[in-house]
Amino acid sequence: MVAHLCTDEVYNQACLEDTLDRLPSASGGLNGWNARGVRVRRAMPPLEVLQEWEARQERVRRAWGALGLDARIQTSAGPYPLRLEIWHLAREYAIHADDIEVAMTARERQAQLRWRVAFGLFAAREEGEPVDAEVERDWVRLRHRGQTYDLDFETFIAYLTNRPQQLKDPAARRLVRQLGATG
| 80 pLDDT more than 90 | yes
* Phi, psi (deg, nearest 5) at residue 104: -155, 160
Dump pLDDT digits (tens) for 144-183: 999 999 999 999 999 998 899 989 999 999 999 999 876 6
In a 13 Å sphere around the CA of 116, the CA atoms on its Cβ side amount to 28
Residues forming a β-bridge with 117: none
The 10s digit of each residue's pLDDT in 3-59 is: 999 999 999 999 999 888 888 776 677 778 888 999 999 999 999 999 999 999 999
Interatomic CA distance for residues 153 and 171, integer angstroms? 15
* Spatial CA neighbour of 162 closest among 183, 148, 142, 177: 183
C-alpha span between 46 and 13 (Å, rounded): 21
